[in-house]
Amino acid sequence: MDPAGKDRTTEHKARVKRLRKIIIAAVLVMLILPTVLSIVALARIGSLDKQITQLTDLIVEMNANMNLSVHESQEPVTRAAEGPTPLQERKLSASGNGTVSSDDPYEGLKKVYLTFDDGPSQYTDDILDILEDYDVKATFFVNGHEGFEAQYLRIALEGHSLGMHSYSHVYSSVYSDLDGFAEDLYQIQSLIRDITGQECKLYRFPGGSSNAVHHIPMAECIEYLDAKGIRYFDWNVSGGDALSEPHSASQIVNDVCAQVKAIDNDTVVILLHDAAGKRSTVEALPVIIEKLQAMDNVVLLPITDETEEIQHIRP
């Protein structure tokens, strides 16, 4: 072959090679681009989902608090005023004793229960450290959060009460139908049992029993809990720390202390949150405890079988 012909062949080969590279690159881009875009879209959907849940939480919390202030003149329903709970009835009939014991070591005192919803979180250890410093026991109404096994266990081991606050805290699935409610309850109860060995019998409804997001009648959920010997607790004092614009630590302190002082009830259940973004709650906690301990008619306790329920609704 003459040199010119050889050159043409080499050039042709090079062009074919370039073309092949371009085609391969184009195919790769066509394959990779949709995958990358899908991943980005999924991540975006995930974060939007989270924001929707947080906003719904906020609305529910506000509704519950509004309910509370609208019905301020009425005492929240307490079981003691209504007679024994099904659980107490079972205990009474089991013991064959028809009278409720009256030896209350805290008689005449305001029994104040600090409760933390939505944990465990990045703040659980801080909250537990503060409670330990002040030798105070509290109650944690927890959700199912992976990677926080040590915190569930620490809550239990340090003598605080563990309560269930649903596994998912997703209103649409917890309150979709009774099967969904039962499945979610089973999940959170099993999680607590697997980690701590405790058979948890305390519950706080996501959004409270007076929430406006349920699809099934709350009466059905309450009946279901009753049948399982599980008691639910709402609150009659709120720290206001669930708002999207979180209250400052001093606002939380002032709100809580003013409500505790004003409330005409021996049982005071304070709603606080153990959740991402609730740093001001952690900052407020030592001051809340100091101010409450300085009140001479107040005792800080964890919720137990003996605690009188505070409930927004009781069908």
User: Which residue, 74, 56, 72, is CA-closest to 238?
Assistant: 72
Residue nearest to Zn ion (CB): 117
Q: Which of 111, 118, 237, 260 binds Zn ion (CB under 5 A)?
A: 118
Q: Which of 67, 110, 117, 123 binds Zn ion (CB under 5 A)?
A: 117
Contacts with Zn ion in 140-169 (CB under 5 A)? none
The answer to whether 286 and 191 are in contact (CB under 8 A) is no
Residue 93, by phi and psi: left (phi above 0), alpha (psi -120 to 50) or beta?
alpha
Radius of gyration of the chain (CA): 28
Q: How far is the CB of 87 from Zn ion (least distance, A)?
A: 24
The answer to whether 158 and 132 are in contact (CB under 8 A) is yes
Size of the site for Zn ion (CB under 5 A): 2
User: Buried b / exposed e across 293-306, counting CB within 10 Å, b at 16+?
Assistant: eeeeebebbbbeee
d(C-alpha 84, C-alpha 93), whole Å = 11
d(C-alpha 259, C-alpha 295), whole Å = 13
Q: How far is the CB of 84 from Zn ion (least distance, A)?
A: 29
Nearer to Zn ion, 163 or 298 (CB): 163
Nearer to Zn ion, 225 or 298 (CB): 225
Site of tokens 């199912």: 144
Which stretch, 38-46, 92-100, 113-121, 147-155, contacts Zn ion (CB under 5 A)?
113-121
Which stretch, 36-44, 46-54, 114-122, 208-216, contacts Zn ion (CB under 5 A)?
114-122
Backbone torsions φ then ψ of 60, nearest 5 degrees: -65, -45
Nearer to Zn ion, 140 or 256 (CB): 140
Nearer to Zn ion, 207 or 302 (CB): 207
Does 234 participate in binding Zn ion (rule CB under 5 A)?
A: no
Nearer to Zn ion, 54 or 293 (CB): 54
Residue numbers of the site for Zn ion (CB under 5 A)?
117-118
